[in-house]
């Protein structure tokens, strides 16, 4: 069997970035924080730890053969389990699941019991999803106190604050999903909540659209708003207006996402246990209350041989992956007894994929083509069939999942099934970086990008298939690499043949329609759902976003997440006819008074100490001066220009928060650390000082994820698979 590895390492070649990510987040460390295992040790630890699950069925079993089978698919880069399994398998914590859905009922006891359970889960490294749809709307009656309800959004804020407080041990940060049904009376407030960038910073949000809502939308009609306390209609709303509001909010902030709730429940494998109301944080795993995600991904990049799909290797990998994930359920130390019991009742697992864009390139298929959609269906159809066959065989040997009777599998055609679901396409931001593969089913986000190292030196991370094909075409050079890294794109480059330009299109160079069509092609053969971002250019209109939402419903997606380029950094603009953004009226600065008052603060930057003076007049902040410890030169003149423009904006009525959003996250080749925080540039430093002086969140900078900068390395964050990730260092908002 063809193995992609080196004898010395006993595993596939790891990039420098992969080694850095493994050392920082996955390898065991001693008391001083120094890694005490190698990547090969890690892969062995994980394989052996999960193989021990065989002993649940045969206490005296020799697990050596199983461990070697698992180690082979991991060390060859054919399969990677989700991050908690890589981190914790074979270790004391032993919590291996990535995400959970918890119930929230319409009473204080349930709300705060679930909040406590959420803290326990976050501490163990998991993410959580909730439906807040059962909570009575704001201003509804509270019979026990004769008061009025504060509504579901107030409790979302409580959960968000708790998540901010309970950090996840430095390896994974808190991630949540808040879902609200479209027929909840508070749906309009929910849609708009992310207009304020300080709200729900630890949440993704999704509006759950019902079939009755979609039917009303198609005829331009109204639909009922239902009070969940009484289950009675308390009003009517225009489906067209609410849908337009969703598209508008998604255009501006990337949220809310959309879930097609009735389609999700039509695929519910165990309807006798209840309906699904919520998903995990990235939306690909609709789950019943107290169920968990047990996930892993097959690397499609390594499933191509001689330009064709290697079905034998894919079959072997999938069967071992199903065995692996079923064992994860056996050895996992779940954070709550209720989660252990519920997860074991349905034994849901999710074999997914990464490296789809790489597979297409290896097969000379452009991502935005009918051939790509057909290949998505072929690959996922084969993977799904083999995963079900593997689960059926496990069911014959180990027994069916306990809730099999009464499930959709219950019948003579499928007498054996170990797992209620077997396929899920999850985000793979970090594990795909480790595996050296493109993320999930996403297109490439960049063909190359520059990395800054010490003393301003730049290194280029270039897609290895582009290097290989460019060398074959006789066009590769360091100058070409540098040129590609400047923009991340090869489009319009005279030196690059049209064939390579077609193959190496990036996410923002592919139309949203093709993003949706590829997602739908995978969804057709996926038990749960598909985590994917539908990317839009900055110039897209609200109508474009609405069209993508409608297309996703029409061609069978279970949900959709959109992201318009730079939308999280744009100032809010007025929206004119046809959903086209227009600028506001011109502003005039107020005169500067003779005397102002202010403070000067020193902050460390890569250019040396920066001294920032912020002055106020009776109407508020009015001017900013900044200078470095060194005088003269281009940098000093640029800093002076930044200060002048900020002053002009402040005296023209632009709020400090708007200025901060624009400056935060701007990067230069020489970031600097101060008090445990990275300052990315002089402009970023000015933003930090402004944030502290303007009465914002102390001296904290604007959230780097909203500003476009990675909080770990300062690289650019991009939206992939419903999550913000850094292609340079592997940071992921969702872990």
What is the CATH number for 237? 3.20.70.20
- Asked if the structure places residue 550 within a domain, the reply is no
Q: Distance between CA 211 and CA 261 in Å, rounded?
A: 8
> Same domain for 453 and 468?
yes
> Same domain for 421 and 462?
no
> Same domain for 336 and 410?
yes
Q: Is 62 helix (H, G, I), strand (E, B) or coil?
A: coil
Q: For the chain, which residues score pLDDT lower than 70? A: 1-9, 144-146, 167-174, 450-460, 568-588, 629-633, 669-670, 673, 675-677, 695-716, 727-730, 733-735
Which of 17, 72, 99, 282 is flagged as catalytic? 282
pLDDT 10s digits, 633-652: 677 778 888 888 888 888 87
Enumerate the β-bridge partners of residue 613: 600, 625
In eight-state DSSP terms, residue 506 is: B
- Asked if the structure places residue 529 within a domain, the reply is no
Which of 72, 255, 277, 284 is flagged as catalytic? 284
> Same domain for 347 and 459?
no
> Same domain for 352 and 460?
no
Residues in the chain: 735
Q: Report whether 669 contacts 606 (CB < 8 A).
A: yes
Which of 280, 327, 419, 528 is flagged as catalytic? 280
> Same domain for 267 and 320?
no
Mean pLDDT over all residues of the chain?
88
Residue numbers of the domain that contains 649: 597-707
> Same domain for 254 and 178?
yes
- Asked if the structure places residue 326 within a domain, the reply is yes
CB burial string 421-444: b at 16+ within 10 A, e below = bbbbbbbbbbbbbbbbbbbbbbbb
Q: What pLDDT sits at residue 418? A: 98
In eight-state DSSP terms, residue 23 is: I
Beta carbons within 8 Å of 23's beta carbon, 6+ residues apart: 35
Q: Distance between CA 531 and CA 491 in Å, rounded?
A: 27
Q: What pLDDT sits at residue 629? A: 67
Q: Report whether 328 contacts 50 (CB < 8 A).
A: yes
Q: What pLDDT sits at residue 375? A: 98
Q: Report whether 127 contacts 735 (CB < 8 A).
A: yes
> Same domain for 410 and 344?
yes
Q: What pLDDT sits at residue 575? A: 32
65 carries an active-site annotation: no
Q: Distance between CA 446 and CA 733 in Å, rounded?
A: 19
Secondary structure (DSSP) of 366-388: -SSSHHHHHHHHHHHHHHHHHHH
pLDDT 10s digits, 583-632: 334 456 777 777 788 888 888 887 788 888 998 887 788 888 888 765 55
Q: Pick the last residue of a domain from 461, 478, 505.
A: 505
> Same domain for 110 and 242?
yes
- Two structure tokens written together for 256: 């809310």
Q: Pick the last residue of a domain from 222, 250, 279.
A: 279
Element (H, E) at 238: strand 232-238
pTM: 0.81
Element (H, E) at 105: none
- Asked if the structure places residue 285 within a domain, the reply is no
In eight-state DSSP terms, residue 55 is: G
- Two structure tokens written together for 61: 């079993």
282 carries an active-site annotation: yes
Q: Pick the last residue of a domain from 224, 252, 279.
A: 279
Element (H, E) at 207: strand 203-209
- Asked if the structure places residue 735 within a domain, the reply is no
Q: Is 456 helix (H, G, I), strand (E, B) or coil?
A: helix
For the CA atoms of 392, 393, 394, 395, what is the dihedral angle to 10 degrees? Answer: 50
Tokens 């209350």 -> residue: 289
710 carries an active-site annotation: no
> Same domain for 493 and 400?
no
Q: Report whether 729 contacts 710 (CB < 8 A).
A: yes
**What total of structural domains would you count in the chain?**
4
Q: Is 653 helix (H, G, I), strand (E, B) or coil?
A: coil
- Asked if the structure places residue 52 within a domain, the reply is yes
Q: Distance between CA 137 and CA 190 in Å, rounded?
A: 11
Closest CA to 651 of 626, 625, 623: 623
- Asked if the structure places residue 528 within a domain, the reply is no
- Asked if the structure places residue 21 within a domain, the reply is yes
Q: Report whether 553 contacts 260 (CB < 8 A).
A: yes
- Two structure tokens written together for 618: 């009776």
> Same domain for 429 and 464?
no
> Same domain for 207 and 124?
yes
Closest CA to 248 of 195, 212, 186: 195
Q: What pLDDT sits at residue 687? A: 87
């Amino acid at each position: 069997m063809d193995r992609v590895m080196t004898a010395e390492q006993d595993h596939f070649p790891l990039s420098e970035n992969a080694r850095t990510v493994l050392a920082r987040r996955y390898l065991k460390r001693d008391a001083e924080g120094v890694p005490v295992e190698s990547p090969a040790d890690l892969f062995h630890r994980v394989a052996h730890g999960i193989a021990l699950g065989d002993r649940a069925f045969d206490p005296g079993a020799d697990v050596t053969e199983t461990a070697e089978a698992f180690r082979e698919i991991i060390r060859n880069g054919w399969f990677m389990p989700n991050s908690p399994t890589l981190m914790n398998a074979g270790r004391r914590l032993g919590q291996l699941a990535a995400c959970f859905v918890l119930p929230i009922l319409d009473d204080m006891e349930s709300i705060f019991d679930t909040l406590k359970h959420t803290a326990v889960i976050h501490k163990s490294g998991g993410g959580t999803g909730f439906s807040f749809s059962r909570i009575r709307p704001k201003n509804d009656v509270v019979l026990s106190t004769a008061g009025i309800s504060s509504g579901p959004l107030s409790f979302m804020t409580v959960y968000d604050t708790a998540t901010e407080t309970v950090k996840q041990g430095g390896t994974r940060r808190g991630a949540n999903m808040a879902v609200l049904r479209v027929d909840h009376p508070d749906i309009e407030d929910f849609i708009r909540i992310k207009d304020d960038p300080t709200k729900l910073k630890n949440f993704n949000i999704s509006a759950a659209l019902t079939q009755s809502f979609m039917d009303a939308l198609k005829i331009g009609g109204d639909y009922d708003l239902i009070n969940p306390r009484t289950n009675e209609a308390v009003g009517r709303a225009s489906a067209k207006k609410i849908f337009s509001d969703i598209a508008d909010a998604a255009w501006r902030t990337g949220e809310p996402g959309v879930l097609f709730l009735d389609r999700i429940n039509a695929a519910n494998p165990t309807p006798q246990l209840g309906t699904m109301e919520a998903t995990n944080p990235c939306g690909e795993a609709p789950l019943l209350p107290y169920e968990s995600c047990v996930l892993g991904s097959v690397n499609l990049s390594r499933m191509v041989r001689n330009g064709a799909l290697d079905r034998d290797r894919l079959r072997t990998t999938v069967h071992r992956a199903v065995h692996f994930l079923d064992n994860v359920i056996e050895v996992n130390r779940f954070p709550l007894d209720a989660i252990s019991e519920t997860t074991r009742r349905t034994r849901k697992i999710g074999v997914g994929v990464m490296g789809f864009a790489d597979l297409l390139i290896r097969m000379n298929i452009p991502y935005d083509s009918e051939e790509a959609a057909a290949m998505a269906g072929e690959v996922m159809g084969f993977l799904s069939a083999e995963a079900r066959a593997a689960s059926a065989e496990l069911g014959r040997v180990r027994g069916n999942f306990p809730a099999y009777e009464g499930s959709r599998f219950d019948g003579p055609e499928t007498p054996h099934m170990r797992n209620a679901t077997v396929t899920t396409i999850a985000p793979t931001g970090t594990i795909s970086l480790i595996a050296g593969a493109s993320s999930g089913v996403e297109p490439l986000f960049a063909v190359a990008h520059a990395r800054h190292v010490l003393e301003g030196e730049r290194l280029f991370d270039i897609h290895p298939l582009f290097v290989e094909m460019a060398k074959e075409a006789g066009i590769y050079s360091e100058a070409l690499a540098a040129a590609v890294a400047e923009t991340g794109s090869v489009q319009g480059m005279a030196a690059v043949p049209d064939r390579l330009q077609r193959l190496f299109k990036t996410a923002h160079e592919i139309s949203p329609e093709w993003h949706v069509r590829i997602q739908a092609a995978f969804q057709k053969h996926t038990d749960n759902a598909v985590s994917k971002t539908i990317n839009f250019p900055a110039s897209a209109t609200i109508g474009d976003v609405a069209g993508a939402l409608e297309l996703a419903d029409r061609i069978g997606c279970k949900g959709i997440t959109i992201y318009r380029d730079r939308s999280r950094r744009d100032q809010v603009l007025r929206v004119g006819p046809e959903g086209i953004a227009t600028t506001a009226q011109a502003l005039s600065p107020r005169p500067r008074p003779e005397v102002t008052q202010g403070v000067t603060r020193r902050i460390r930057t890569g250019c040396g100490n920066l001294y920032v003076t912020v002055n106020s007049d009776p109407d508020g902040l009015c001017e900013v001066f900044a200078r470095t410890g060194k005088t003269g030169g281009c940098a000093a003149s640029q800093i002076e220009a930044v200060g002048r423009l900020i002053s002009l904006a402040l005296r023209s009525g632009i709020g400090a928060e708007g200025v901060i959003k624009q400056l935060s996250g701007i990067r230069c080749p020489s970031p600097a650390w101060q008090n445990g925080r990275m300052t990315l540039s002089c402009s970023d430093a000015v933003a930090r000082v402004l944030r502290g002086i303007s009465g914002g969140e102390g001296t904290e900078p604007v959230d780097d994820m909203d500003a476009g900068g990675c909080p770990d390395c300062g690289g650019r964050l991009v939206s992939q698979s419903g999550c913000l990730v850094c292609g340079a260092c592997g940071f992921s908002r969702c872990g």
